[in-house]
Structure 1
Amino acid sequence: MAFLRHLFAFLAACWLALAGLPAAAQLAQGPAHIRATLLAERPARPGETVTLAVLMQPDKGWHGYWTNPGDAGLPISLEWTLPSGVSAGPLAFPVPQTLLVQGLMNHVYEHDYAVLVPLTVPKDAKPGSALPISAKANWLACTEAICVPESATLQGTVTVGSGAADARFDSWRAALPAPLDRQGTFTASPTGWRIAMPFPASAAIGEPHFFIAGEGIADYAKPQAFSRVGDTLVIELARAAFPAPEAPLAISGVLSLGTGGKGEALGGITFTARPGPVPAGGTPLGKGAAPAPFSATTLVLAILGALAGGLILNVMPCVFPILSLKAMALARSGSDHAKAEGVAYTAGVMLACMGLGAAMLALRAAGTQVGWAFQLQDPGVVALLLLLAVAITANFAGLYELPGLSIESGSGTAKSGWVGAFGTGLLAAFVATPCTGPFMAAAVGAALVLPAWAAMAVFAALGFGLALPFLLLGFVPALRRLLPRPGAWMERFRRAMAVPMGLTVLALCWLAWRLGGPVYAAGAIALAVLVVVLLIAIGRSQRQGLGSARWAMPGGILLAALALAATPRLATAGPGEVEAGLLDAKPFSEAALAEARAQGKPVFAYFTADWCLSCKVNENVAIERETTRDAFRKAGVVVLVGDWTRRDPKITSFLSQQGAAGVPLYLWYPAKAPAPQKLPQVLSADFMAGLPAKG
């Protein structure tokens, strides 16, 4: 087939030259019908890998080709000219389209597309220098009638250092097929091949097509058949007209999932299948077949898990001080006020959880690789959270009075009480999201494959669980009577609660430094100092009986706007540095995982973030321990760590493949096992030390 494809391209060019010589000369001398541009995502530190993009922009009616172009065509090829020590990796193509022309099946792109290439900068590269990158590119540009060989010398530079990333790379990376870490199986049939691919029964699929990577295996133009057997998708391909002389040892390719009910692209999955059993029967998928109905049991379990996770979040250090002071204030309220505040607080919590969930689902539907707690990967949001935490700490310390968090709020009007409770609910839910990992991973992971309405029910259950204790206090007088009697101790308790909130402020300062670098952290801390000055002035006005100063509200809005809009400009882009630690961990990448697996070594891969409290607890208590280090060294375990502090579409995509919407995630790959074991999200030192012995 490779010979036939090259022959076709040669004949197409000859046909053009002979049948339309004037036109051919005009095309060859005129502008290219597919314009190619070489771009770098961002600057790169010494020893770091940065992504390059070859942006291909076809004219209307023209198309380029996938790595296996099908029955005809040629993909882009690159001949690199790179500085010493710089190396380029393999080309990564987005999910292609099918184009059937006179019985020939083509795997093409009829729109703008980007081919991504990893580029590694040498460790001895001088910061501030510019590395010249050049590539001789050749490709075939075609319409349904003619083909024209085109070429260009693409040039660009990669600056050694740090800087902002090109936002377009997120969408280009999202267009790549997601790798499936589990292998499929295939077997020969009388007419071709049957391939079994792991695929959840609840996952959406539109009009699928399997783009096979190997040649001489399948007939590209023959119809493909798909059927579901539980959590397995069975693909049936016709045998190639001119088959390869030997049966394949593996069949790999990209499964395009087609489009959803609203016309949105569902993306694709790349996987490899090896000889093995393929289940018979199943439910056929016809053209435009709807996704298989999700299990009601899955939805119920996800809702119950979210409810339980929300309840546990109430004891987290970011939430407990807020909840406890609201409870004290509620104890002083009358029955009517208590009910109103309970409902308002619940509404605020549920609205925040559902809003964050809806934003995550919308961004994922638009092709952006995000997960739960995605807002904490945004420097502007972290700066705003820092200001909020400073404001709450100042309130607890008695610098000023905030009606929503005041223990005297029960004496106010019903309107001020429920407005403050609603705002407190919004705040509590927003700051609680980093702590949801160990309690919500399964529930939020299930939400990613559920219909939108069912996913929103899961997020609503999370909010209801978080708000339930306060709601019960509002509606059950007997529970309120169990609270300590009001007295002078309440003011001392409020001052004491300033300590955990102050520690939260310090943690957010550290996170700001890790997320955006020292300049960004300094800018956020400077705004926090201005907030303290503003709140001291407000408190002075309140103690003089003047209420809040007129400029308090616009001043607060201005500082919040600066936190959201200005401080992100100070942040340095790119992934944070991964500390090797006791386990000598290396940064996670699918290439590093594949390399370790190919060497037959056991692998422990864990995914963490600096804003994830439970992640840090597990690392200090169980992972970064001498007993774990000694056991892992003895067994030759390779440790890979995926740092999700900053937004990383590759890690997000991998998490999604594992059914996880966030961190922490712990995977154990035994040396000879085909699939990983998903470990508990609460670890112990003894469990980790004994892990290699379990195989």
Structure 2
Amino acid sequence: MPDLFRPARVLWLFFMVLMVAMATGTARGEVNFLPADKAFALQIDQSTGTTVRLSWTIAPGYYLYRDRIEAMTDSGATVVLPLPPGQLKDDPNFGEVQVFHQAVSTEAKSSGARELTITWQGCAEAGLCYPPQSRTLPVQGGAASELVAPPGAPPTNVADPAQATDSDYGISQILASRSLVWTIPLFLVLGIGLAFTPCVLPMLPIVSGMVVGSHATQRRAFVLSGSYGLAMALTYAAIGVAAALAGANLQAALQNQWTIAAFTATFVLLAMSMFGFFTLQLPGSVRARLDNIGRGTRGGTVAGAAVLGLVSALFVGPCMTAPLAGTLMYIAQTGNAAQGGMLLFVLGLGMATPLVLVCTVGSRFLPKPGPWMTRVNGVFGFGLLATAIWMISRVVPASATLALAGAWMITVAFTLWPYSAGKRSPNVSRWGVLQRSGAALAGIWGLSMMLGSAAGASNMLRPLASIAGTPSAADEMPFAKVRSADGLDRQLAAAVAEGKPTMVVFSADWCTSCRTIEREVFDQSAVRSALSGWNLVTADVTEGDPDQRALMRNMQVLGPPTVLLLDARGQERRTLRLVGEFGTDTFLRRLNASESAS
């Protein structure tokens, strides 16, 4: 690996250690949260007379508080529940507490009582805390089946699962429509770029000879190379479908901060391989077998070209391993088989494009192999590191993400600046001047991000805004507080009469994620300015009493923090709802979209 990337190698190791260590931070990001009855599924068994057995099945990425599981009789007497010891957790909501993961069971003695009220409370690791849940059970003369809500009946204090998350159709619609307009060309360009990695480009003339054979006409060469490319693209499409199907279960796992940390470390390792720390490739025996299959296939026929395309999709050289693995990990997260197959198909077509050109018009139009090819590896390496930062941003504070982005920019600056062993390179060309100018700008911007992060900023476009000044206490936004559906209706009616849009923030005293949003989003001057014409309402659900549960049920809210944006007619655009923690940029995009739709 040339000297171009050596100044960055120590920083790559720093990246890996820093990002994995920061994964223990507060969970954040927009996650598909489960409704409470799915996150904490309660099963009741009363087959032993006066003893009621209670069993909770806890979904991955969620936990129940041990001291929040309680039982009370209809006369108001507390029932002692023999709960097992829980796991100690330094919880942001209640301090150091004992919690349960996966499952927990206990028994309640109901002797002499006609009814038994069970209450419990839990949270998601990704930042959403559910209000206290409760269920009242008849304990005399009823069978277990009568104690559980019938299938399809809505729970008394949670929303319809089909409309339970901020991204229930927001994410799916974006992936299915608008974002594909950008994603498909991106994968096509990515495929073309992969064809120019150091150990793929030099092989193109050799592969073209194997595919086309000798004395083929230009038209015949196009047909054969097209068969090769189509077979390769279809093979990648099958790989993409498999990755997406495997990723359906990955979605739940990615709500866990340790899983995200592991994936982040994987992306960093893949990036390090692109910068020459080590080489990723298939085992030698597998490579030899695939190579023998390719060499034994007859060139010059459509079938032979197709077989070679299939083999090359499975054996594309060590330079492909890291970016292809990163691409498959991205597709696995979507869990969308159709999209995964289509994107990998487009990537395969992109990889085949240079080969079709070589076979049809000859290799004279392709750039010659040289040192520039290692820079292609560098571009992929930086892309993989940027992906790692994006992924780890789900589980670290926004200011930490800003610091990582700043470190990334500074590393780009060190890499671009043409220094070797501290000496300036002689005879700097015009391209060299442009390169150093870009390096200087990247370094200055990266340093600004690092300084802004230290001051608690989170906006990459305005990293020093928090240093320039902070809003005073006199600038507090006027939030009206409601605790019932009637109170919210009155606020909405007043806003409609004034022709003002309304923002409703569901919050609770025990919700630390709500405090984080207040501090890192609503305290930002850009947000305050954007909300100046809005009617602001806080829906307080701290107690979880019947009025507050009815309010959440009417608005189809799982728990705090949840933000609803309603237009001047009092109508919510459901796709713009925010659930869990979010950043300033995300909030402003949703706010602007809501105003545009009004």
- Alignment TM class, shorter chain as reference: 0.3 to 0.5
The structure whose residues are more often helix, as a share, is 2
TM-score by length of 2: 0.39
Q: Which has the higher contact order (CA 8 A, sep 6+)?
A: 2
The structure whose residues are more often strand, as a share, is 1
TM-score by length of 1: 0.35
